[in-house]
Structure formats: structure tokens, C-alpha cells
Amino acid sequence: MTVLQKKADNPIEHLTAEDIELIGKELDDIRQSVIDTRGENDARYIRKVIDVHRKIELGSRAVLLASGFPPAFVVGTIGLSVAKILENMEIGHNILHGQWDWMRDPKIHSTTWEWDMASPADQWKHSHNEMHHTYTNVVGKDNDLGYGIMRVDEDQPWQPFHLGQPLWSFINACFFEYGIAAYDLELAGTIAKKRTGDPEFRARAKAVLRKIGRQVRKDYVIHPLLSGPNFLPTLAANFTANLVRNLWSNSVILCGHFPEGVETFEKKSIEGETRGEWYLRQMLGSANISGSKAMHIMTGNLSHQIEHHLFPDLPSSRYAEIAPRIRDLFDRYGLKYHTAPLPQQVGSAWHKIIRLSLPNGWLELTNRRNLVPQLVALYKMTTGGPKVRRTLQRKLTAGVRLSRAAAAAA
């Protein structure tokens, strides 16, 4: 992707400043209509989900006490995976967004909730609610764009180490909760700036380690010990459940902002941004996942990522109901509402990760016939200096232009 402001076919060129404010006004009205009808049914919903989660978790942990017995291992692992996904997605993420604060229930409140995750809730709230949701898809501001480890934009110059991007993206997916914790802690940046001695950073790092310690002790010591002779199978089951949950939440999150077609923005484009413009950025910077009700619940309704980014503090259970109105708004203003089934969106996101791990244009120009010379060029770009890279990149860019022109002529 390329930041929207540099695109040849700017998807919002046809909108006037007035249009954008009208969009903002309509969205405010939709938000208000949900707030006006928020009530007992919503409260019952979140309490039900919490209740179901606790029962599945308790049941699965109980079954896993007999994890040496293969069917118990399978059932318990599946149950625990489902419980952990529910806990992180529909429950934790959304409560920490303040979606349920209006109930004034101190037990279900963004200021008191803690979740089954390596990252402590308050640190996650800062990096996610404040940074990511305010500066969504602004290159250089929103660290969720590539989590500081990936090249996610054609405008970021390609470096040889980006070749490893698919591999470490996969490793990050497997241990996603730790990736998130490190990233909420701003670990990489702090190390780079040599500020690890800062007492404020140390206090936060200590909080993360304490949280990780408690999490690890629960899943890899206490519950395995409770299983007695089944120590190892229970440990394996808990590890698997965490792995499944990590892969799942990583996939859902990739789908939210990474699929092809989702826009990114320049830092200076958000200076003095109006509420209407902020809304518009959220509309263009998110993508949905289509699917069944169960799919929506298991993604924490982040399958309605567009609706979530427009209204991060509305109860997640209401996104489905406003989605048709949002889609209609997109249509009326000639904007593209990105939505596709999960496999397609995950595929699209991974395609982008792979494409951007290679120099711009390389993947597009490579086919079976020119594979060998292309690999040679890639080898030279990887091992050569910046000058070699620049020269070969110019060639690639010219090649792309030629092949596109040829395709257009044909």
C-alpha cells in the first residue's frame, strides 16, 4: 500500500469538505441511535458471554485433569482454546475499550478489568485505545502498522533484512501475546533509544514481567501440577490453547488493517483533522470479515472492524445491527467497504507481508520464465550496497511501469 496522499487515484478526491462533515454528522446520529437504545438486553448479553466463558474455562480445566486420556486431552484443549479466545476477544478487548462502562458495574469496567494476556491491561489500553485508535493507520504514528517490525508500506525503503519478514511475522503470530506485551511496553524503541534505565520504563517492565510470571505459572505450573500424573499432557494442552488463541487473534487483527486496499495516511495529513475527517480515516483504514454469528463472537466482533473503529466505545454486540447503515453510507459517498471471508482476508494480509518482504515490484514481475534472472537480481540487491539496491530498484520500478502499460494496451 502507499499512503493515500501519494496515490495516483486518491479514493477520496471526489469528496468535498462539506461531504466529509456530512458523513461525520450521519455517523454521530448512528452512534446516538445505539446509545439511546442501549440497555438491559446489552447488559444481559455481556454477562451471558462472561458466564459462558467462565463455565467453558472451568469445564475444560476440569477435563484436562485427566489429560493423559487422549479424548480428554482433545476435548479439554479445544474447550480451553475457545475459552481463551472468548476471554481475549469478545470480553477483554471490548471491556477494556470501555464498551461496557455505561453499566456502572465495577466488575465489568475498563478501569478494573484484567485479562488472560501477557500485557497488563493498563499498558495495553494506552497503546491500543489511545495510540492505535486515535492515530489509526497513520504511518509513523500508529505502531500497529507492522508493529515496528515489518515493512507494511511501499514507501518504506526495502532493506535485505525484510526478507525475513514472513518468518518473523509467523513467529510473532505464534507468540502474539508476548509480541503485544513487548510492543505495549515500547521495548524495541526504548532499547534503540538506550532508555532502558529510565525508572518509569523499569516500573512498567516490572509490571509486564510480573504479569507474565503469573500467566506462565498458572498455565505451565499450577494446572499441570493439579493434574498430577498428567502434568505433561496438561502442560501441552495449555501451551496448545495459548498457541491457538495467539494465532487466531493475530489473524483477526491482520484482517482488520492489513488486507490489500486498506489505506494508510501521512503524518501531516492529520494535523488539524476534524471529527468528520477522523471518521473518514477510520472508514478507509479498516476492513471487515464476513461470516456467521459465531464468527463474529469469536473475533470479538472485530469482524466488524470498520464499525468498531468508527465507534470503539459502543457495545460490540451492536455492530452487526448498524453495519448495513454504515455500508449504505459508504455506497452513497462512493467509498469502498472492504469485507471478505476470513480465509480471503488472512490470505490477502499474508500476501502483502510476503510482497513487501521483497523489493517493490519484484513479486509482480517474477514468473516461471524469468525466475532465475530475478533471483540473481534479488541476490545482488541483498548482498550489494545501497547503490546497487537503488539501481536495481529503479529497473524493477521501470519494469512494472512497462508491464502495466502493456497490460493496459492489451
Partner 1 sequence: MRFAELATTPLLPADYLDLVNPLRSGADLRGRIEAVVPETRDAATIVIRPGADWQPHRPGQYVRIGIDVDGVRMWRAYSITSDLGRTDGCFTVTVKAIPDGKVSNHLVRRAQPGTIVQLDQATGEFCLPEQRPAKALFVTAGSGITPVMGILRNHPELTDVVLVHSAPTADDVVFGADLRQLAADGRIRLVEQHTDTAGMLDAAAIAELVPDLAERSTWACGPIGMLEALEEHWNAAGIADRLYTERFRAKVLVTGEGGTVTFTKNGTSLEADGATPILDAAEDAGVLMPSGCRMGICFGCVLPLREGAVRDLRNGEVTTAAPGDGVLIQTCISAAAGACDIDH
CA dist 111 and 169 (Å) reads: 32
Instruction: With beta carbons less than 8 A apart as the criterion, state whether 300 and 253 touch.
Output: no
Q: Which of 167, 169, 133, 132 is nearest to 149 (CA)?
A: 169
CA dist 291 and 282 (Å) reads: 21
Shortest approach of partner 1 to residue 58 CB, angstroms?
6
- Which stretches of the chain bind partner 1, using CB under 8 A? 28, 32, 35, 38-44, 51, 54-55, 58, 97-98, 101-105, 107, 109-111, 114-116, 125-126, 129-130, 133-134, 211, 214-215, 217-218, 222-223, 226, 275, 278, 312-313
- Residue closer to partner 1 by CB (options 9, 40) is 40
Nearest 5°: phi and psi at 10?
Answer: -60, 120
Shortest approach of partner 1 to residue 277 CB, angstroms?
12
Shortest approach of partner 1 to residue 391 CB, angstroms?
45
- Residue closer to partner 1 by CB (options 222, 320) is 222
Shortest approach of partner 1 to residue 178 CB, angstroms?
16
- Residue closer to partner 1 by CB (options 121, 349) is 121
Shortest approach of partner 1 to residue 151 CB, angstroms?
27
- Residue closer to partner 1 by CB (options 222, 295) is 222
- Residue closer to partner 1 by CB (options 109, 327) is 109
- Residue closer to partner 1 by CB (options 114, 328) is 114
CA dist 60 and 88 (Å) reads: 17
Shortest approach of partner 1 to residue 214 CB, angstroms?
5
CA dist 3 and 153 (Å) reads: 8
313: Cβ contacts below 8 Å, ≥ 6 apart? 97, 98, 99, 101
Shortest approach of partner 1 to residue 222 CB, angstroms?
5
Shortest approach of partner 1 to residue 395 CB, angstroms?
45
- Residue closer to partner 1 by CB (options 46, 329) is 46
Shortest approach of partner 1 to residue 41 CB, angstroms?
8
CA dist 382 and 9 (Å) reads: 32
- Residue closer to partner 1 by CB (options 81, 169) is 81
- Residue closer to partner 1 by CB (options 116, 263) is 116
